[in-house]
Amino acid sequence: MKYAIIIPDGCADEPQASLEGRTPLQAARLPAMDAIARAGVVGRANHVPAHLPAGSDVANLSLLGYDPNEYFTGRAPLEAAAQGIELGPHDWAIRCNTVTVEDQTMRSFTAGQISSPEAAQLLAACQEELGGAQLEFRPGVSYRNLLIYRGSAEKPAPFSRDTRTTPPHDLTDKSVLDDYPRGPGSDLLNRLMHSSIELFAQHAVNVERRRRGDVPATNIWLWGLGKAPALPPFAEVYGRSGAMLTAVDLLRGLAVLLGWENIEVPGSTGYLDTDYVATGRYAVDALAAHDIVCVHVEATDEASHEGNCAEKIRALEEIDKHIVAPLHAALAARGDYRILVSPDHPTPLRTKTHSHGFVPLAICGAGVKPDAATTYDEVSAGQSQLAFADGFKVMRYFLD
């Protein structure tokens, strides 16, 4: 049996007045996803427990079959795993965005989609001026970087599970005054964030960005901290091998911790300009060597963070045409298969941020008896009797 999972990140949404009361999933032309709905079942799942943050870290952990109440420790440790950064028992990983804050308002949580080389230069400046033996600033991809706090039994980190931080993408075009770090260790985080303002102000990277008319990276924003999680390998829990195709370190890190292979796709950016065609082609090729092929696409979530309805619909249609359709066709040609389409969490265009709540799922393939659904969307899912209050149970249902 071969399996495919497609995750259009954050695609679940609300009815839009601009779409005559339809959601983006309803408005988009999605013949491949609708075909899965007709051939199988449509349902819904809640991947984010109410007491946990509505982030892709919690949601994708659940979607991949792990109870976040038991295994979630924070987002940054997952991204550290993607970069091959080992965390000792007393170490903490902290997500370190380069952002643009003007007049105490989050103008851009990506610093205008800053390039990786530019961000690396800014992180190098942080390391030289603010880092040391305990503090390691690690550049990643674009605005997605890390700070590693190296603790020890003698000098433990000042953080705890009670340390509260806010993802910068939850603050787009909002005031940040009430969302600086709070709780244990927050004084250190706030000091580093404040110190980076002066450090970045006249940095050569920002001088050049202003000259080009790009927004500057005004400072770092620290959030999503945690210690290394202890995830049992997927093969031990579910008895299958897997491969992940994504442009996002969070998902790469989850794959590493699950024992899956990460497959890098040229042109996969994690943004609206990603190469959907190449992603679909690489996913089909990966079926030969793996039981499960999982494709995560960030573009739908990015469009929501920007409040861009037209781009969200376009991204959904590209995913449907170039990823879902060829994967389903390749699986059907092999015979014994199942395919699952599901986002991780809702990201409403209205709020431009992740939210708690159910997301629609569609499954078809061997042993799946079709229900009455004919379309894949929130309304169809809401009418289904197939519902998972504990979203991590979807994986067992899908596989077995």
The distance between the two most distant Cα atoms of the chain, rounded to a whole number of Å, is 63
Question: What DSSP string describes 245-292?
Answer: E-S-HHHHHHHHHHTPEE---TT--SSTT--HHHHHHHHHHHTTT-SE
Nearby residues of 334 by Cβ (< 8 Å), 6 or more positions away: 2, 287
Residues 301/57/130/85 CA torsion (nearest 10 deg): -120
Region 365-392: what's the mean pLDDT? Answer: 97
As a 3-state breakdown, the chain gives helix, strand, coil percent values, each rounded to 5, of 40, 20, 40
Q: Where does CATH 3.40.720.10 sit in the chain?
A: 2-71+232-399
The bridge status of strand 242-245 relative to strand 292-297 is: parallel
Over residues 18-61, the pLDDT tens digits come to: 999 999 999 999 999 999 999 999 999 999 999 998 989 999 99
Q: Distance of CA 366 to CAs 6, 25, 44, 400, Å?
A: 17, 26, 20, 10
Superfamily of segment(s) 2-71+232-399: Alkaline Phosphatase, subunit A (3.40.720.10)
Rg of the chain (C-alpha set): 21
Distance CA 148, CA 77 (A): 9
Confidence of residue 270 (pLDDT cuts 50, 70, 90): confident
Average pLDDT, the chain: 97
pTM above 0.75, yes or no: yes
Length of the chain: 400
Residue with tokens 């770090």: 181
What is residue 163's predicted lDDT score, i.e. its pLDDT? 97
pLDDT (tens digit per residue) in 381-397 = 999 999 999 999 999 99
Contacts of 160 (CB under 8 A, 6+ apart): 183, 184, 185
Whether 160 and 183 have beta carbons less than 8 Å apart is answered as yes
